[in-house]
A and B are shown apart, each in its own frame.
Chain A
Amino acid sequence: KAGVTQTPRYLIKTRGQQVTLSCSPISGHRSVSWYQQTPGQGLQFLFEYFSETQRNKGNFPGRFSGRQFSNSRSEMNVSTLELGDSALYLCASSLVQGEGKLFFGSGTQLSVL
């Protein structure tokens, strides 16, 4: 059974650009959540999607958005990139919304220059 797949693995962008990251959950998992990890702030929750609907959102500006498709694959988008957006972005999938064991992808390392 394939795990959670995140693409791309690495990304370099410049300030002001926008970026889209992709996450394919484990087959059958309908919940996808996104996290930002930085050396200073650690792991922080971005948002969670279940059945194509955003169920929860963390304390991040509106530049951070996401969506989930009917096949449960999810994308997150960051517009007008800032230097502080440089981070490891992780997604996780689970069978049920808001609870249940989480299965993490390997993450996308985003560098903003």
Chain B
Amino acid sequence: KNEVEQSPQNLTAQEGEFITINCSYSVGISALHWLQQHPGGGIVSLFMLSSGKKKHGRLIATINIQEKHSSLHITASHPRDSAVYICAAAGGGADGLTFGKGTHLIIQP
């Protein structure tokens, strides 16, 4: 069974700060998803990656397959980035996705 751990659970930062959210998993996987959930429930897929690094606007996601670790970075954070960020591992002996508990991010103006 794959265990997916996220840190930190909660993060409050000032507008403009560089944000890092971490995700580690216990079993080798085929891909890792980063999701964003705003209040009200809507979930948006930010990245799906199986190796290396991906960038979209101010968001960067990296994964280290050997260390079983992924990070999500937000540069020049903005209050609209306030949301819950969730990582989810695909494969690793489990059917479907295994989710982390999420990181609740608040960016203060």
- The one of B31, B88, B100 that contacts A99, using a Cβ cutoff of 8 Å: B31
A98-B90, A101-B45, A107-B41 given as contacts; is B99 within 8 A of A42 (CB)?
Answer: yes
Is A51 part of the contact surface with B, judged by Cβ < 8 Å? Answer: no
Residue of A nearest to B48 (CB): A101
1/0 per residue B72-102: CB within 8 Å of A?
0000000000000010101000011111111
Whether B98 lies near A45 (C-beta < 8 A) is yes
Residues from chain B with a CB closer than 8 A to the CB of A92 are: 43
For A, the interface residue count at a CB cutoff of 8 angstroms equals 26
- Interface of chain A, helix or strand or loop or mixed? strand
Residues from chain B with a CB closer than 8 A to the CB of A58 are: 95-96
Whether B43 lies near A104 (C-beta < 8 A) is yes
Residues from chain A with a CB closer than 8 A to the CB of B41 are: 37, 88, 90, 106-107, 109
What is the interface of chain A, defined by CB distance below 8 A to chain B? 33, 35, 37, 42-48, 56-58, 88, 90, 92, 98-104, 106-107, 109
